[in-house]
């Protein structure tokens, strides 16, 4: 089958996993899936989702590759725009719209050997041209929130990275929403060895541009 002929939804209207949706190359269908999810979630009083996950993933050993939009930055960028539009609609005040949260900012999918929580060692070139484009596309599409990750890049945990959060995200890209930590990623600054305790970890994350734990 041609890519655009591959369905992302089954007969009951249930949509496949994000990697499967990416394989369709059908942006309209992907947007439709996010729109339906927003309608279903808002019906139960939910107004925020921790999606879409925009980690470029090229190592099949990483278990979370199933959540990703694949390995191509261009396709992932177009999918990011479609999903943000689907979740948030035309106006977040619409009762059927929910706030999207792009994750994991950034480079979580490049963990060495596909091992969860492992170190990430990439160049600024790879960061800019492979990892960040989908996030930039989502920001330009008006995404409301961003989630940082557990990982570090070159020894600096991204939750405490002012380069990523203040210089790039909020500075260069002009993002005006808020940044939320991934589960315990602020507290884990002590595990990374860059903060002595939780008090120092919180101060470090806040100074670097993290807004919410």
Please give the chain's pLDDT, 213 residues, in tens.
Answer: 344 444 455 555 578 899 999 999 999 999 999 999 999 999 999 999 999 999 999 998 998 999 999 999 999 999 999 999 999 999 999 999 999 999 999 999 999 888 887 889 999 999 999 999 999 999 999 999 999 998 999 999 999 999 999 999 999 999 999 999 999 999 999 999 999 999 999 999 999 999 999
Q: Is the pTM of this model over 0.75?
A: yes
Phi and psi, residue 6, nearest 5°: -80, 125
**Coil vs helix vs strand at 15:** strand
> Which residues, in sequence order, are CB contacts of 33 under 8 Å at separation 6+?
8, 9, 15, 21, 86
Q: Which two tokens stand for residue 183?
A: 């589960």
Q: Which two tokens stand for residue 72?
A: 């191509």
Q: Which two tokens stand for residue 154?
A: 């070159």
Could you list the active site residues? Answer: 182
Q: Residue 183's CB: how many other CB atoms inside 10 A?
A: 11
Residue pair 120/107 in contact by the 8 Å Cβ criterion: yes
> How far apart (Å, rounded) are the C-alpha atoms in residues 96 and 39?
5
């Amino acid at each position: 089958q041609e890519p655009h002929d591959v369905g992302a939804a089954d007969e009951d209207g249930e949509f496949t996993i994000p990697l499967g949706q990416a394989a369709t190359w059908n942006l309209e269908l992907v947007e439709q899936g996010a729109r339906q999810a927003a309608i279903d979630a808002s019906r139960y009083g939910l107004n925020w989702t921790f999606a879409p996950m925009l980690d470029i993933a090229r190592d099949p050993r990483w278990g979370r590759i199933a959540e990703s939009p694949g390995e191509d930055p261009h396709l992932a960028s177009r999918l990011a725009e479609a999903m943000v539009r689907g979740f948030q609609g035309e106006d977040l005040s619409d009762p059927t719209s929910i706030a999207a949260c792009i994750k994991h900012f950034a480079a979580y999918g490049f963990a060495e050997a596909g091992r969860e929580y492992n170190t990430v060692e990439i160049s600024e070139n790879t960061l800019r041209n492979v990892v960040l484009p989908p996030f930039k596309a989502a920001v330009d599409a008006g995404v409301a929130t961003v989630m940082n990750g557990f990982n570090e890049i070159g020894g600096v945990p991204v939750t405490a990275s002012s380069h990523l959060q203040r210089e790039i995200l909020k500075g260069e890209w002009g993002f005006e929403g808020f940044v939320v930590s991934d589960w315990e990623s602020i507290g884990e600054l002590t595990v990374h060895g860059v903060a002595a305790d939780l008090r120092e970890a919180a101060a470090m994350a806040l100074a670097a541009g993290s807004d919410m734990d």
